Amino acid sequence: MAELSQSETRSDARDAADAQRKSGLNARWHRLSINQKQVVWAWAFLAIPIVFYVVVRFYPTGNAFVLSFQEWNLLNDREWVGLENYIDLWNNDVFWVVFVNTFEYLIIGTPISLVVSFFIAYHLDKVRFMHGTIRALYFLPFMTSAVAMAWVWRWFYQPVPIGVFNNFLAQFGIPQIGFLNSTTIALPAVLAPAVWAGLGFQIIIFMAGLRAIPATYYEAARVDGVSNWTMLWEITLPLLKPTIVFLVVFSSIGFLRIFDHVFNMTTNNPGGPLNSTKPLVLMIYETAFGGRSQMGAAAAQTVVLFVILLVVSLVQLRIMRDK
Amino acid sequence: MFSGLRTTLAASALSGAALLAAAPATAQVEIEYWQYYFGARVTAMEQLIENFEAANPDITVNMTHFPYANYRTQVAAAIPAGEGPDVVQLFYGWLNDYVEAELIQPLPEDAFPAAEIQAEFFPMVSAMEQDGRYWALPTAVRSLALFYNERLFEAAGIDGPPETLDELVEIASQLTERDGAGNITQVGITTGMTGQDHHWFREVLVRQMGGVPYSDDYQTVTYADEAGQAALDFYVGLEEVHGVTQGGFMDEAQAAFRAGRAGMHIDGSFRIGALNDTRGLEWGVAELPAGPDGTRSNYSSYWVNAITSQAEGERFDAAVLFMQYVTSPEAMQIWLDVVGELPARVEVGLTEENANDPVYGPFIRGLEYANTTLFADESAQRQLLVEMVERVQLLGDDTASSIATAAEAEQALLDDYYGD
């Protein structure tokens, strides 16, 4: 009996304290003005994406920078090794091949995809007949899974008897081309479907840019009797500059990060033959998730990729900035 | 608003506590077993666990499996965090890393006497011994053999599979077909270092040419000599000299064989299941052909089970019992019947029935003279042999310099791995 009353008293006291705390918080909340309350709520909602980004993006990014100065195979404790990962990378022959490949993807891929997509967008813009259907057809590859597409193209490129391209050549007695089995042709062969896949998106953006140019400029030009060619160079392209800047930066980043097409078209011999198609991202993947799980070395490669992306984007933005 | 939230939190905390309190009621010992996902392996393990639990009613084994691609990372992340299994399946090549990181503990000597294991298991299992103690044991092992297409053999009037490398070349040339333009449309034998050929080269061809691929501890590369070059000449010669194959024919060697466009194909015992499922394909299996002086060799690999360092007390005792069962003759026979992987114990492997089985027989007989490469990084080491052949075929390098380059790169990789 005594025990019961004691515990009752204790719980009474706790309730009282709770009530007091509650009223304190409530009172403080009620003292805020409506504006202040709105600010509190705004921050409460904003906190969700901020926390998400900090936890999922910024923390791992920072961690990767730290890791690039360490050695870690997932199993052992991390060990500080200073600049060793970077020095090893500098002395690694494969890295330099990969470095050149990465820029080849960029230097071949970006201009070709931009010129082709502009050409298509420019003409598609003038077509009225089945405009929507044609546009959808160009956009389809962009929505297709890169993995599925890479495998289909991989089979296209096979030697006879299964490769479509080589079967076609063989029918006319033309010697086969070892598309994926050549140190020179393999990279463009892998790049082709990647360019094709990106076209749809670029065409849509270009067409939006074209539509945004006021028709009055063209009307005025036509009244002055200016040729189509001059209109293209003097009106269309200059006014498309923001669109072009966006697409150059966007597609450059895409080509510098190319992975799925290469990996899936060369799974048996990733980035081969003889590393001739290996981009930096694939090298990072192999270093990190290959047999030895060299996380530190992979992090160092990631930092290098980060710097490349940063520099290329800044240079492009500076060059193409409005003067 | 705030008080409402707090009440909810308190309520859910209470109900959570109630759940936790209800859980540990029985005196059962529960142990956790992890393996990677492969349909037949999971089915077989379920059967083993059922038998084991029937014999040991006070022990419960929970199996968790992961996709192969994530398996290594998952295990590596979980054990140090104390979340992992008590008994874990590992690839034999990972043993070093796990011993060094103290993620697994040695098997107790009284339950697994080293002398007994040496006497009863196939010889390559000795790779699981370090400092006189065994750290892990396999249920099943794998080896290589020559698959051949019986229909193509019959059509070409060939009696049986080749016994020697010379016969291999001879038969392969009879089976090769080309179209009018000279393009190969059917290969006599598949090749490609990206498949199992790099094992065939390392442990079989190099030894058959009179060489030794590595030092005994597999830390020194020794194949860059005349024997190694002869092995590479033979291998590259299949395409360049004899024209009986084409690297990358039909994308993948096993695909070409399954499509009936290849006369012969060297592959592991794990391929049996896929071939069984291929309609219209009639195939046979033979031991790998002998070398010029009659030398036979083979390559064997395996997955092992080990007790992790987090199994302690009664969980450790239960894990030992479980390990004893999964490495018992009974378990091995179940594994062979369900998965098609070869028993790791000689007495089970070489029973009259198993050793003379038309499909498993050649693989099992190969185990007697098989070698197991101790890889530091199998995919990277395979890649070096892939590139060795590519340098000859795509860049026109001579075999001597190409094998020297490969050996040098592989030695650098081994030094880097064993150096720290």
Q: For residue A2, tell me if it sits in a domain.
A: no
Q: Is the pLDDT of residue B234 over 60?
A: yes
**Same domain membership, residue A280 and residue A144:** yes
Per-residue confidence (pLDDT) for residue A33, from 0 to 100: 87
Q: Is B246 on the interface with A (CB under 8 A)?
A: yes
Q: Is the pLDDT of residue B45 over 50?
A: yes
| Residue A110 C-alpha, separation from nearest chain B C-alpha, in angstroms | 29
Q: Is the pLDDT of residue B8 over 80?
A: no
Residue type, A242: P
Contact B331, B325 (CB under 8 A): yes
Q: For residue A35, tell me if it sits in a domain.
A: yes
**Same domain membership, residue A205 and residue A260:** yes
Under 8 Å CB pairs connecting chains A and B tally to: 93
**Same domain membership, residue A182 and residue A48:** no
CB contact under 8 A, B394 and A181: yes
Q: For residue A73, tell me if it sits in a domain.
A: no
> Domain range for residue A25?
16-67
Per-residue confidence (pLDDT) for residue A255, from 0 to 100: 95
Domain count, chain A: 2
Which of A166, A268, A289 is facing B252, going by the closest CB pair? A268
- What dihedral angle (degrees, nearest 10) is formed by the CA atoms of A81, A279, A302, A72? -40
Q: For residue A72, tell me if it sits in a domain.
A: no
Per-residue confidence (pLDDT) for residue B131, from 0 to 100: 84
Q: Is the pLDDT of residue B1 over 60?
A: no
Q: Is A132 on the interface with B (CB under 8 A)?
A: no
What the block records as the tokens of B145 is 């053999």
Q: What residues does CATH 3.40.190.10 cover in chain B?
A: 28-142+301-371, 143-299+374-419
Per-residue confidence (pLDDT) for residue A1, from 0 to 100: 40
**Same domain membership, residue A157 and residue A45:** no
CATH class of the domain whose range is B28-142+301-371: alpha beta
Mean pLDDT of B357-385: 91
d(CA A287, CA B339): 32
pLDDT, mean over chain B: 89
Nearest residue of chain B to residue A74 (CA atoms): B76
Q: What is the pTM of this model?
A: 0.84
Q: Domain B143-299+374-419 maps to which CATH number in 3.30.300.130, 3.30.70.3270, 3.10.50.40, 3.40.190.10?
A: 3.40.190.10
Q: For residue A6, tell me if it sits in a domain.
A: no
CB contact under 8 A, A268 and B250: no
CB contacts of A154 in chain B (<8 Å) are 251
pLDDT by position in tens, chain A (length 323): 444 445 555 556 666 666 666 667 788 888 888 888 899 999 999 999 999 999 999 999 999 999 999 999 887 888 999 999 999 999 999 999 999 999 999 999 999 999 999 999 999 988 888 888 988 998 998 888 999 999 999 999 999 888 999 999 988 888 889 899 999 999 999 999 999 999 999 999 999 999 999 999 999 999 999 898 999 999 999 999 989 999 999 999 999 999 999 999 998 899 989 999 999 999 999 999 887 889 999 999 999 999 999 999 999 888 877 65
Instruction: Give the residue ranges of DSSP H helices in A185-265.
Output: 186-212, 215-223, 228-231, 237-239, 241-256, 260-265
Q: For residue A192, tell me if it sits in a domain.
A: yes
CB contacts of A173 in chain B (<8 Å) are 181
Contact B241, B325 (CB under 8 A): no
Per-residue confidence (pLDDT) for residue A17, from 0 to 100: 63
d(CA B188, CA B263): 5
Which of B76, B251, B417 is facing A158, going by the closest CB pair? B251
Per-residue confidence (pLDDT) for residue B14, from 0 to 100: 44
What the block records as the tokens of B350 is 């070489």
d(CA B98, CA B116): 24
Which of A25, A175, A268 is facing B194, going by the closest CB pair? A268
**Same domain membership, residue A97 and residue A39:** no
Q: List the CATH number of the domain containing A264.
A: 1.10.3720.10
Q: Residues near B83 by Cβ (< 8 Å), separated by ≥ 6?
A: none
Burial class from Cβ neighbours inside 10 Å (0-12, 13-18, 19+) for residue A78 reads middle
Per-residue confidence (pLDDT) for residue A10, from 0 to 100: 57
Contact A249, A317 (CB under 8 A): yes
d(CA B419, CA B275): 42
Residue type, A24: G
**Which residue, chain included where needed, has tokens 């006369």?**
B263
ipTM of the complex: 0.81
Higher per-residue confidence, B15 vs B346? B346
Residue B16: pLDDT band with limits 50, 70, 90: very low
Best residue in B3, B90, B405 for a mutation probing chain A (most A CBs within 10 Å): B3
Higher per-residue confidence, A275 vs B10? A275
Residue B420 gets which letter from DSSP? -
DSSP calls for B2-49: HHHHHHHHHHHHHHHHHHHHHS--S--EEEEEEEE--HHHHHHHHHHH
- The predicted-structure confidence for B134-187, as pLDDT tens digits, reads as follows 999 999 999 999 999 999 999 999 999 999 999 999 999 999 999 888 889 999
**Same domain membership, residue A283 and residue A223:** yes
Per-residue confidence (pLDDT) for residue B102, from 0 to 100: 85
DSSP calls for A5-62: HHHHHHHHHHHHHHHHHHHHHHHHHHHS-HHHHHHHHHHHHHHHHHHHHIIIIIHHHH
Per-residue confidence (pLDDT) for residue A100, from 0 to 100: 96
Give the A window 304-323 contacts with B, CB below 8 Å: none
d(CA A209, CA A236): 9
% of chain B exceeding 90 in pLDDT: 68
| Residue A254 C-alpha, separation from nearest chain B C-alpha, in angstroms | 25
Give the B window 362-391 contacts with A, CB below 8 Å: 375-380, 383, 386-387, 390-391
| Residue A108 C-alpha, separation from nearest chain B C-alpha, in angstroms | 23
What the block records as the tokens of A211 is 């539509």
CB contacts of B379 in chain A (<8 Å) are 286, 290-291
Nearest residue of chain B to residue A88 (CA atoms): B416
Best residue in B184, B251, B310, B393 for a mutation probing chain A (most A CBs within 10 Å): B251
Q: Is A263 helix (H, G, I), strand (E, B) or coil?
A: helix
**Same domain membership, residue A107 and residue A48:** no
| Residue A75 C-alpha, separation from nearest chain B C-alpha, in angstroms | 5
Mean pLDDT of B256-264: 95
CB contact under 8 A, B93 and A75: no
Residue A83 gets which letter from DSSP? T
CB contact under 8 A, A269 and B103: no
CB contacts of B373 in chain A (<8 Å) are none
CB contacts of B246 in chain A (<8 Å) are 159
Q: Is A268 on the interface with B (CB under 8 A)?
A: yes
Give the B window 248-287 contacts with A, CB below 8 Å: 248-252, 261
d(CA B353, CA B375): 33
CB contact under 8 A, B194 and A173: no
Per-residue confidence (pLDDT) for residue A18, from 0 to 100: 66
| Residue B295 C-alpha, separation from nearest chain A C-alpha, in angstroms | 30
Report the Cα A166 to chain-centroid distance in Å.
Answer: 33
Which of B183, B383, B387 is facing A176, going by the closest CB pair? B183
| Residue A157 C-alpha, separation from nearest chain B C-alpha, in angstroms | 10
Nearest residue of chain A to residue B377 (CA atoms): A291
CB contacts of A292 in chain B (<8 Å) are 376-377, 380, 417
CB contacts of B179 in chain A (<8 Å) are 160, 170
Q: Is A170 on the interface with B (CB under 8 A)?
A: yes
CB contact under 8 A, A160 and B378: no
Give me the half-sphere count of Cα atoms (radius 13 Å) on the Cβ side of residue B202: 30
Q: How many Cβ atoms sit within 10 Å of the Cβ of residue B61?
A: 25
d(CA A321, CA A314): 10
What the block records as the tokens of B180 is 């009018």
d(CA B403, CA B233): 10
**Which residue, chain included where needed, has tokens 């008994």?**
B87
Q: Is the pLDDT of residue B7 over 80?
A: no
CB contact under 8 A, B387 and A274: yes
Residue B116: pLDDT band with limits 50, 70, 90: very high
Q: For residue A79, tell me if it sits in a domain.
A: no
Q: Among the listed ranges B71-75, B139-143, B323-327, B381-385, which one has the minimum average pLDDT value?
A: B71-75
Nearest residue of chain A to residue B100 (CA atoms): A76
Per-residue confidence (pLDDT) for residue A248, from 0 to 100: 93
Q: For residue A115, tell me if it sits in a domain.
A: yes
**Same domain membership, residue A203 and residue A55:** no
Q: Is B177 on the interface with A (CB under 8 A)?
A: no
CB contacts of B390 in chain A (<8 Å) are 272-274
Mean pLDDT of B323-333: 94
**Same domain membership, residue A271 and residue A205:** yes
User: Of the residues A67, A92, A126, which one is the last residue of a structural domain?
Assistant: A67
